[in-house]
Structure 1
Amino acid sequence: MPTQPRRERAREERRDLIVRTARDLAETEGWEAVTTRRLAEAVDYSQPVLYGHFKNMDAIAAAVALEGFVELAATLRDARLSGGRGRDEVGTAADGLRALARAYLDYAAEHPAVYEAMFVRRTDLVFGGAESPEALKAGFGEILAGVTPFAGGDAETLTEVFWSALHGQATLNQGARLRGQQRTARVDLLVDLLVVPVVDGGGASFPAQD
């Protein structure tokens, strides 16, 4: 009879296979092609087995999204640190933020279905709260770390504004709603809007929260 650890490992392996297969199908054919019936056939499990791991497709998509947040946080951290070595100086902090912004848009372009699960699809994941999953906090934290050197006060709100602008670009880029040849120029302009006031001594000032 299998021991408890073996049963737990087998259950975790089944769960990982379901998530990985859902992600692969979504990236290949779009989320509309990912159904519990299609997944059950692809992983060779019955639908009740799938429901033993996830209550519905939204839960499966949320698991894919959490994987994406882990990957995105690591990607943004690598870009920020490699682009902004010696971030004691404003110029190198700007390099780090610029590298982070480009890495964000690259991730969205290279993993469109995962990005959709993270930021577009309906989800039960909680954003912006104490109960938010650690992966979400880590992703936001990396953007916050890049923006903070240029915030005169409320760094978190400035980060939300910057993130919103990146998300808008990512979404519009994906839908081919913007001029493709201007992709780099848009990122540079967005970063410059935060960086230039600090370099010039003005500071992007936001009121401090109570």
Structure 2
Amino acid sequence: MGINERKERERAEREQRILSAARMLAEQHGWASVTVRRLAQEIEYSQPVLYAHFENREAIVGAVALEGFGELGPALRASVRRDATPAEALQDVAAAYLEFAFERPALYEAMFVLPSGLRFAKSDTPQVLRGTFGALMAVVEPFCADSEVATEAFWAALHGLAELERHGRIRPAFRNERVRRLVAMFAMAN
């Protein structure tokens, strides 16, 4: 291995340490606790080293969000039962999306709530975001002629349900009933 390859590997390892520390701090103490200073202390590097990897905190949040999309898309695809009907597939994905939001609240917040610098539905949208959207669209397509707009509506409904429940605005005991009704609304759109 040459010097350049070793330096690049070490840079990637430092970057991953920064992101892992950010995720850990956010999960334990919330995103307000994730500052460049605190991350530098956590990983035992100076702040300039962090700034050599990430321009600012928003860039760190964006990198964490990209990791999250890399986890969410495959989780959505894997959630669909073999031989599921289109309505069952829609329900499986909706349940998996909400489960992700509740099992990884800080990661979900980085992906969908905090400023991240990520651009959605643009020509330069990262492929991992497109892939996650595609996982949602795959289960919406059987019900709607304009699957992109319908998928945006489905996603917005799921996000609204997740945020309302995460903040105690709606009753958690009725999550499955809400998902059932959401799926029924989409199934009737056909």
TM-score (norm 1): 0.88
What is the identity, as a one-letter code, of the residue corresponding to 2:90? L
1:187 and 2:184 correspond: no
> Alpha-carbon deviation of 1:123?
2.1
Partner of 1:103: 96
- Pick which of 127-136 and 38-47 moved more: 127-136
Alignment partner for residue 107 of structure 2, among 98, 110, 114?
Answer: 114
Amino acid at match of 2:69: F
Distance of 1:30 and 1:181 partners within structure 2:
25
Amino acid at match of 1:45: Y
Percent identity over the alignment?
48
After superposition, residues 110-149 of structure 1 pair within 5 angstroms as 110-149=103-142
Tell me how far 1:135 sits from its aligned partner. 0.8
**1:172 matched to which residue of 2?**
164
Q: 1:39-50 residue pairs with structure 2 within 5 A?
A: 39-50=39-50
Structure 1 runs, 4 residues or longer, greater than 2 Å off: none
Aligned to 1:200: none
1:7 alignment partner, SS class: helix
Within the alignment, does 1:15 sit opposite 2:8 as a pair?
A: no
How many Å separate the matches in 2 of 1:11 and 1:177?
Answer: 43
Letter matched to residue 53 of structure 1: H
CA distance in 2, matches of 1:115, 1:131: 22
- Secondary structure of 1:113 counterpart: helix
Q: Which residue pairs with 1:32 in the alignment?
A: 32
Structure-2 separation of matches of 1:146 and 1:129: 22
TM-score by length of 2: 0.97
Number of equivalences:
189
Q: Structure 2: give runs of 5+ residues left out of the alignment.
A: none
- How far apart are residue 94 of structure 1 and its match? 1.1
The corresponding residue for 1:94 is 87
The amino acid across from 1:36 in the alignment is V
- Distance in 1, matches of 2:7 and 2:122, equals 34
Shift of 1:86: 3.2
